[in-house]
A and B are shown apart, each in its own frame.
Chain A
Amino acid sequence: MATQHSRAAARLMISPAVILLLLWMIVPLAMTVYFSFLNYNLLMPGAHNFIGFENYKYFVTNPAFITALINTLVLVGGVLLITTVGGTLLALLLDQPVWGQGIVRILVIAPFFVMPTVSALVWKNMFMNPVNGLFGWIATSFGFAPFDFLSQAPLFSIILIVSWQWLPFATLILLTALQSLDSEQVEAAEMDGAGPFARFFHITVPHLSRAATVVILIQTIFLLSVFAEILVTTNGGPGNASTNLTYLVYAQSLLQFDVGGGSAGGIIAVILANIVAIFLMRMIGKNLDA
């Protein structure tokens, strides 16, 4: 797109898509912002008076808010940690030439195709349930008391479930990155006297950093809004122990029919997501520069 003319033509050509996307995004956002300033409760029909920042104040001063905020960050951070580290290790494993590699790879990717509600239910009932679950059975057969994951460590359990779902994604992307590592580079490092660990940290990890950045950015977007897994397993409880922001908004607007409060929560969640995004780009965004 060198000339002025072709640049103008290009802008014209992409404008329908850009405008459509903009509307797609702007309209719901504007509506949400609008609702968040109203006193709008479905249980009190008729009265939609403008109340300024009252909804925001109410949402932020709610004692559950801080807990939900911390839970959201812990959830995102925990899952990111497990999936990038686990994904790197799995990718290293899958990169080794073994018999039946193709099938193993498909198996590893499989969890990604299971929908969140289903996988959360499977984990809840078949693994973590203290009476019927596999973990409980293992514990009892060794003579220990079964551990009730979802009530003793609700947030950790949810982190486990979500990590299980996202591990394949991380593994897949890191595996392709690993396969693009120039073998001569590894051999050069070998000749330079770098042992397996030095090679991993000096050659492989920097090579994977770009892919890992992509993994982290994409996962963060989705992890900030984890919902189904919480709804199906703990319902945000016990108390608020596993409530994240998304779930809090849901509890606010749908369980209490408070559209205005829920909208305010939604806007706060959007703002927080942007803050997280800015931090992330500051920290790891430079990895994406060529």
Chain B
Amino acid sequence: MGQITLSKVVKRFGDVEVIPPLDLEINEGEFVVFVGPSGCGKSTLLRLIAGLEDVTDGHISIDGQDATELPPAKRRLAMVFQSYALYPHMSVRKNIAFPLKMAKMDQAEIDKRVDGAAKVLNLGDYLDRRPGQLSGGQRQRVAIGRAIVREPAAFLFDEPLSNLDAALRVGMRLEISELHARLQTTMIYVTHDQVEAMTMADKIVVLQAGRVEQVGSPLELYRAPRNLFVAGFIGSPRMNFITGAEAEAHGATTIGIRPEHISIVPEGGTWTGKVVVSEHLGSDTFLHVDIEGREEPMTVRGDGEVPVRHGDTVQLSPDETKIHRFDAKGLRIE
């Protein structure tokens, strides 16, 4: 259960086409992440799947059944909103029980499921509190609890972690991944944070201006980005792009090399430059190196102990096998 297919889905708001015809296949049990820059239509796409927005054209089917015209409640999907959207006047218990109550389930079964969800999510101590009396992370868990009690065909998450602080975000990320491993239910997760995308996804869908730029596993996208956009979007820090004569020497219009595939060599390097910023993270060091004839500094990853400081001159050498080549249209050349 939990297979979703979008075929030729189009969404227009008035004259603005937010989603041009789009095809997408989401398999049962997959953890799919929609990632892309702000305003690219991730939330819109998720809301189309949820049924909160009507498609302008095209079809959505869930588990082989046409769901294009189905109201949200009938699609058997559960959604966790960015603002959590808890009901402020209800206790945590009532919040979690709400979808079951709406489904007219009997009280004993409701209690059983709510207690089960509370146990899974460590909410036992808070069941009688109101959402206003909880921390952000706890609220997030309540929102997830409200979603899991329904045993939906798929979960939809719209940037669920963006209101949390960095430490909590990492923790919740793990919890959601564990939840997925345990429930084996399809999850669709929207984020603009490519680290979240890389760490959680079975399959990443990179979107730009409503178009699917590439679909694939995190490592596929990392190893073989199909175009310049994906190459620049996936990976942190960003890939370095080089155009001009050097690229032409490789038979391409643009070549890209990731910071982690450049090494600092004592002599005989391909590029020589001056370090403008060095960021020491302990485990790694990121150097931003100004190179003659390049507008942007080149980013290089070294190990944590690189003895380089601001203003030093270094020689850099790329790993030739890891160079990505792109043609004039920005598409990858194999």
Is the beta-carbon distance between B89 and A206 smaller than 8 angstroms? yes
Interchain CB contact (< 8 A) of A184 among B85, B99, B146, B150: B85
Is the beta-carbon distance between B89 and A187 smaller than 8 angstroms? no
A217-245 to B contact mask, C-beta < 8 Å, 1/0 = 00000000000000000000000000000
Q: Secondary structure of the B side of the interface?
A: loop
Is the beta-carbon distance between A187 and B85 smaller than 8 angstroms? yes
Is the beta-carbon distance between B52 and A190 smaller than 8 angstroms? yes
Which residues on A are within 8 Å of B, measured CB to CB? 182, 184-185, 187-195, 198, 202-203, 206-207, 209, 290
Task: List the 8 closest A-B pairs by CB distance, nearest first.
Answer: A192-B99, A188-B85, A184-B85, A193-B73, A193-B102, A206-B89, A184-B81, A191-B72
B128 to nearest A CB, angstroms? 17
A198 to nearest B CB, angstroms? 6
B203 to nearest A CB, angstroms? 23
Give the total of B residues in contact with A, Cβ under 8 Å: 24
Does B44 count as interface, using CB distance less than 8 angstroms? no
Which residues of the partner chain A approach B150 to less than 8 Å between Cβ atoms?
Answer: 192
Which residues on B are within 8 Å of A, measured CB to CB? 50-52, 71-73, 77-79, 81-83, 85-87, 89-90, 98-99, 102-103, 132, 146, 150
Interchain CB contact (< 8 A) of A188 among B51, B71, B79: B79
Q: Secondary structure of the A side of the interface?
A: helix
Cβ contacts A to B, 19 pairs, < 8 Å: A184-B83, A185-B86, A188-B79, A188-B81, A188-B86, A188-B146, A189-B87, A190-B72, A191-B51, A191-B52, A192-B98, A193-B102, A193-B103, A202-B87, A206-B87, A206-B89, A206-B90, A207-B89, A290-B132
Interchain CB contact (< 8 A) of B98 among A195, A202, A290: A202
Which residues of the partner chain A approach B83 to less than 8 Å between Cβ atoms?
Answer: 182, 184
Distance, CA A207 to CA B146, complexed state (A): 20
Which residues of the partner chain A approach B87 to less than 8 Å between Cβ atoms?
Answer: 185, 188-189, 202-203, 206
Is the beta-carbon distance between B85 and A182 smaller than 8 angstroms? yes
Which residues of the partner chain B approach A192 to less than 8 Å between Cβ atoms?
Answer: 73, 98-99, 102, 146, 150
Q: Which residue of A lies closest to B47 (CB)?
A: A187
Which residues of the partner chain A approach B86 to less than 8 Å between Cβ atoms?
Answer: 185, 188
